[in-house]
Amino acid sequence: MFGIQEVNIWGYTLLSVIIVSLISLVGLASISFKKNHLDKTIILLVSLSAGVMLGDAFIHLIPEAAESGFTLNISLFILLGIIIFFILEKFVHWGHCHLHHHKKQTPSYAIMNLVGDSLHNFIDGILIAGSFIVSVPLGIATTIAVILHEIPQEIGDFGVLLHAGFKKTRAVFLNFITALTAILGAVITLLLSSNLSSLPNYLIPITSGGFIYIAASDLIPQIHLHKDKGITQSLSELSIFLLGIAIMYLLLFIEFV
């Protein structure tokens, strides 16, 4: 039988991953956007996501992992998180290049995109569940970071499927199916945590390494590569980036039941 604490962890986690999965439907809202407006909106969301992920890693996750003292093991697991996401990205890029050079049909690229997105969402579910196992505030902070990262990613994934020739309804459906793997990742993590009480000690620094990798190697370079670089746009991106960090800092002063 589950105790009240375990029920709360399951409840918070499942609610969070369901919300994250529903983010996959955001592509519907982007249909009516003009391309130039959509590009500017996405880059601001990317800026916010980068700030939130770095803020979550350095303000919430690493301090939580080092609550009893910062050790070499924590550093190694942070590096492990970076390595895991590096390998994952290499695998996705390899699959994309391999299929692209051997197949003329763009759906091959779209299929690889769906496979990579499924794996990515599965890991998101693991990260969210691992955070809630430690504490509700940490889980909420991590969920917010994942959500803000997912919005621009899901809009981009939706665009890939449309470019591959999928109808809008089918593109939304496939995007939603891949998003549901986050629930699977969360459930598996929660089931394992009852037998592996030390699981959060590994998941938290690995999560922080993953967030640092995503923000530093994927999101920030996208911001710098954005072509519309007027001073106003650049200041907006910087302000939104700092806002993301500030949001994570302010969460330290909010108590959750």
pLDDT digits (tens, 9 = 90+) for 92-146: 666 555 544 444 444 445 666 676 678 778 878 988 998 898 888 889 988 988 8
124: in domain: yes
Number of domains in the chain: 1
- Dihedral of the alpha carbons of 91, 93, 95, 98, in degrees to the nearest 10: -130
Look at the block and give the residue holding tokens 């919430």: 60
Q: Which of 167-171, 176-180, 219-223, 232-236 has the highest mean pLDDT?
A: 176-180
Domain span including residue 117: 4-252
198: in domain: yes
pLDDT score at 86:
84
- Dihedral of the alpha carbons of 203, 205, 206, 207, in degrees to the nearest 10: 80
On whether the CB atoms of residues 17 and 128 are closer than 8 A, the answer is: yes
Helices (H), the chain: 4-22, 35-55, 62-65, 72-102, 107-134, 136-163, 168-179, 181-193, 199-213, 220-225, 231-250
Task: Identify the burial level of 85 via C-beta atoms within 10 angstroms of its C-beta, where 0-12 means exposed, 13-18 middle and 19 or more buried.
Answer: buried
13: in domain: yes
End-to-end CA distance of the chain: 22
85: in domain: yes
Residue 40, CB half-sphere, CA atoms under 13 Å: how many? 12
113: in domain: yes
Tell which residue, 229, 245, 234, 204, has the closest CA to residue 64: 204
257: in domain: no
On whether the CB atoms of residues 126 and 190 are closer than 8 A, the answer is: no
31: in domain: yes
59: in domain: yes
